[in-house]
Amino acid sequence: MAENSVARMLGLVVCVALIAGSFWSGDRPASPQLAILALVSSIILELRATPLALGYFSPACCWAVALTGLDQLGLPWVLACLACALALRSAILPASPNGALADLQVDLLPAILCAVAARTLGLMWGIPFFWLAAVSLPRLLTRWMAPRSRAGRDRATLTLEQSALVSLGLCAAVLGRIHPALMLATWPPILGLLRAAYTGVELDERRAQHSSLRSARNQVQFQEKMLGQTEERQLKLQRLLDARADTFELLETLSAQGLSERQALDQALKALREKLPGAHCEFVPLGPSGPEFSSPVAAEVRIGVQSAWAQQEPWLRDLKEGSQAAWPLPHRGLVLILVPVCLSAELKHTLQVFFYYLNVMLDRVRHQESLVQALNIQAALRKDLSLAVTRLQALLQGAGELASLVQPREILQLTVDRAAHWTGRECAAAHAGIKLGTPPPGAMAFPLSGGEFTIAAEGLEEAEVEALRLWLLLAGGALERCQAQAGLVQSSKLAAIGQLAAGVAHELNTPLGSISMAWDLAMTNLQKNPEKAAARLQTARKSIEQMRVIVSKMLNYSRESGEGRRLVSMAEIIQDSVQMVDQSFQLEGIELILEGEDALVQVNAGEIQQVLINLLVNGRLALAGVSGPRIHIRTVIQPPWLEVRVLDNGPGVPDEVVDRIFDPFFTTRDVGAGVGLGLSISREILVAHGGELNYQPAPGGGACFVIKLPICEE
Amino acid sequence: MNHVLVLEDDDSLRELLVDAVESQDYEVTAASSAREALLLGREKEYDLVISDIRMAGPTDGLGVLQALKQQHPALACIVITGYADQTAPLRALQIRVDDYLYKPFEVHDICQAVERVRKSRSQRSWYRQVMSRVLGQVAPDQALAELQNAREACLKSLFLAIRSKVHYAETALALWDAWEELEVDYLKIANTSAITAEAAKRLLDRYALWSARLSKEAENKSFVSPSQRSPEKVDRATFRRFVERVKQAEVSAEELSLAVTLRRIPPERRQLNSELEGLYKRMWA
């Protein structure tokens, strides 16, 4: 706590100042033994008595009165002893919930007043003042500084006891005038009184008060921290999205300007320099033997750039003096970036996005350029271009249509139709399992976003080929967009199915019961009373209608995320999830062990169940072939979190994929066996609930997934 | 046992329930709301109430059953529900309903449940006779009858707890282990010709404690750590099968009391009687 360290520093400064002051003023203690006695006694009394007084009454006060009675000691030295004792106390013992600073003030101020009064007024005349300063002042100060602590409301006898303590201090002072060692005779009654004054119910009450105040404060701090973190995360996400949108916009405008490839690249680099002030951005063109630098660069950078080019992957190095990075632009060269500061992870991500779009844009510009060139050549040969140009226009109009399509098959169809119509030749396309047309013999193949487009290209004009390439590039973009969307749609669909399953199952039970009964009754009545059987079937019909209504209602319901959260016990969720997989676990002889505590959580039970089932099914697959397969589900309460650990004794997750298991579409299963969305959706669900999903290797080599959810008190 | 009251707020299901129970030659009255059922219950004494739990109104199905049971403590009740509500089975345990059915069920299930409840009284006396034959008891006396009643009430709540799936399997197993220990003492007491009031009292107290534990476990729904198995305790797989049979209503509440005795008496004694051996096989094999 910052406040505590401030208090400690303050106490230390005051001590040093007072000790230095007492030496400097020449007001030294008469003998070193006496000085040490005063110091040690102050410290011992303070440390011994404070846990009993707990910050509301300081024994320093009464001892200050006692010490000022000694003529052999100067006032600054007495104060220095006091300050030392208090500083040491605040360093060793925990502060009261009012905070260490408040404690120090409450203790120090009355003590100083008492000491000064004793020295200036004399012991006899100072008595009423001691009483006021030592007994009432700390209480007033506490009440003023910590109004919530209720410390001021004590029983009357407590005041009496505190007054008695001050009187004992006076006694000690009188005894001290006879001989300083006699002062110690007052210690047993002082300590006894302190203990008596602060034992029993009141002490317990205060202790309870302390802990509750402290925990309340911790909770508030924790909540603030959490809120801060969530906000920060959201802001970060927003910034990333913004950067993405900015980049996209920038490059779109560049490509619409009709620039040449080189010009477009220059413009993009200019924009990049604006984004990264002080950075050195350079395009490294491709020479016959790899990248060619126009200016000399460090050997490490050269090696890095070459490796980036060889692997066609970005190269990044963070050094103390800044970051060095190189991004390859396929077929063109590399962009070298030297930044004087370290790049943040966020900025790296933005750069990644920037270069991805830059590549896409440059491709587009290049095709446009070569199309224009081809057209120019034809114009120079004085061929009739009007027909080609009108057809080209018609073709490119299709680009708008492409953007509005969402089905890959439709896009592919449009691509083929347009190309065939325009060139008047037979075309075929194949992409991701969809095949349209048959490739004509002797055809020329063009790449189409991972697929292939074939056309009988013989005798095609150069301009036509270029136009075709441009068209295919546009179609490829549309196909890629489609794939990305399909992934999103699929994942949200899967999530929704899980959400629905639990809710619908219960809701549907009543009409399902009706149908099952109606069926039975209709069957029994079929022979002897066909009319009744028909009536029963009619009832079943009604129930089916009822089910339909429920299902449509639930569908509407699940569309709003965040709805449907309620207070449920985690044990219930776990039990429900286990029940759903129990059958298959029994079949494979996997032992399921549930253990731990239970707590209430505010969640969408269906979603959390989905997460658990996901983890259990993953576990089951991982345990294939393991002898004595076993899965533990252990709930641990670690306020304010509830942790559910799903632990298996399988082989665990291999080290090389640990970082990727939560990525969307990552899967270790065979193609077609899993989509690879389970863990990423699970993590999303938990994050949406304000929780976490993490992986850690289990002791003994298995996998352990930890679900963390905030516990709900009420 | 002829008058049955069906309380269900879903129109189709109510109609079908009435039809199904009527086909078993009962006189059935239907109520569509809690209020209606309470009014009907005041007018006439029913032998059995079949009731849904969740319904709109001043009170739900269990509230109605509670009120009706206060008027006629001997009233038999069957609860049907489609919701995995956590508190409902608990309340059903407190009210001491006779059976707990989850929707969806078939005509066969509900008819069986009704039949089981109807026969329960005659079955209970039959099982008591079988038991006294097995144990070689002399004429039943007052203290023994009291013990038997308490014992049967406990086992009935266990039956209901299993039927309403209110416990985790491990909890049910722990409860069963505790019960088998109680059974040893019961057999000891029941075998002596003269039962001391002291011993009977002690066992009654332990029965009360056991059933308090049962409802507490149901309330807390806490996980219990897997208990150690030893040869005299029932092994896990067998017990799971047994619980499954109870859930499927292949073993009735009355048969539970025989089930535990049959497990605790020496096998030779059981094998002497082919009827007992058959019962044992049906419940435990």
For residue A681, the model assigns a pLDDT of: 73
Residue A521 in contact with partner chain B when CB distance is under 8 A: yes
Residue contact B222–A597, C-beta within 8 A? yes
Helix, strand, coil distribution of chain A in percent, nearest 5: 65, 15, 20
Helix (H, G, I), strand (E, B) or coil at A104: helix
CA–CA separation, A335 and A322 (whole Å): 17
From B170's Cα to the closest Cα of chain A, the distance in A is 9
Hey, are the CB atoms on A520 and B15 less than 8 Å from each other?
no
Contact across the interface for A542 and B12, Cβ inside 8 Å: yes
Q: Which residues of A touch B104 (CB under 8 A)?
A: 509-510, 512-516
The pLDDT value recorded for residue A256 is 63
CA distance A345 to A124: 73
- Cβ-nearest to B104 among A513, A521, A635: A513
- Asked if B20's CB is within 8 angstroms of A571's CB, the reply is no
- Bridge pairing between strands B3-7 and B48-52: parallel
- Chain B residues in contact with A511 by the CB 8 A cut-off are 10, 12-13
Give helix A386-404 / helix A408-423 axis angle, nearest 10°: 170
* Minimal CA separation from A190 to chain B, in Å: 51
User: Edge-to-edge, what's the strand order for the sheet holding B3-7?
Assistant: B27-31, B3-7, B48-52, B76-81, B99-102
The tens digit of pLDDT for each residue in B31-68 reads: 988 888 988 988 888 999 999 887 766 678 888 899 89
Higher pLDDT among residues B7 and B11, named by residue: B7
Q: Is A418 on the interface with B (CB under 8 A)?
A: no
Q: Concatenated DSSP letters for B260-271?
A: HHHHHS-HHHHH
Listed in sequence order, the residues at least 6 apart from A388 whose beta carbon sits closer than 8 Å to its beta carbon are A375, A378, A461, A463, A464
d(CA A240, CA A235): 9
pLDDT of residue B7: 92
Which H helix or E strand runs over A80?
helix A75-92
Structure tokens, A547: 């089910």
Residues in chain B whose Cβ is within 8 Å of chain A: 10-13, 15-17, 19-20, 23, 52, 80, 82-84, 86, 102-108, 110, 168, 170, 220-223, 225-226
The encoded tokens of residue A404 equal: 């509005």
**pLDDT, tens only, B149-198:** 888 889 888 988 888 888 877 888 888 988 888 888 888 887 776 677 78
Residues of B in contact with A572 (CB under 8 A): 86, 221
* pTM reported for the whole predicted model: 0.39
Distances (CA, A) of A468 to A460, A474, A475, B80: 10, 10, 10, 69
CB B258, CB B279: distance < 8 Å? yes
Q: What is the pLDDT of residue B29?
A: 93
Q: Which two tokens stand for residue A672?
A: 């077609």
- Give dist(CA B164, CA B159) in Å, integer: 9
Among A2-11, B113-122, B160-169, B250-259, which is the least confidently predicted range?
Answer: A2-11
Residues of A in contact with B107 (CB under 8 A): 517, 520-521, 524
| Shortest Cα–Cα distance, B13 to chain A (Å) | 5
Q: Which residues of A312-322 are buried (b: 16+ CB within 10 A; e: fewer)?
A: eebbbeeeeeb
The rounded average pLDDT for each run of 10 residues, N- to C-terminus, in chain A (714 residues) is 64 73 64 79 75 59 77 77 79 67 75 79 75 72 60 56 77 82 82 66 59 68 66 64 66 67 81 79 78 76 81 78 81 81 73 75 74 71 64 63 67 79 77 74 74 76 72 75 55 47 62 85 86 87 81 49 70 78 69 86 80 82 82 88 90 77 59 52 80 85 89 76
pLDDT of residue A671: 39
CA nearest to B166 within chain A = A572
Q: In the prediction, which pLDDT does A500 show?
A: 46
Q: What is the mean pLDDT of chain B?
A: 84
For residue A559, the model assigns a pLDDT of: 38
**Interface A-B: count of C-beta contacts within 8 A:** 91
Q: How deeply is B58 buried, as exposed, middle or buried, from its count of CB atoms within 10 A (0-12, 13-18, 19+)?
A: exposed
Sort out which chain B residues have CB atoms less than 8 A from A509's CB and list them.
Answer: 82-83, 102-104
Q: Which of B12, B108, B226 sits opposite A539 (nearest CB)?
A: B12
For B107, the closest of A521, A540, A593 (CB atoms) is A521
Whether residue A592 lies within 8 A of chain B, CB to CB, comes out as no
Domains of chain A: 2-199 (no CATH), 246-362 (3.30.450.40), 384-484 (no CATH), 508-559 (no CATH), 566-710 (3.30.565.10)
Euclidean distance between CA atoms A653 and B260, whole angstroms = 47
pLDDT tens across B90-109, in order? 888 888 888 998 888 888 88
Tokens of residue A6, six digits: 């401030």
Question: Is ipTM > 0.95 here?
Answer: no
Domains and their CATH numbers in chain B: 3-105 (3.40.50.2300), 119-284 (no CATH)
H/E stretch holding B194: none
Contacts of A599 in chain B (CB under 8 A): none
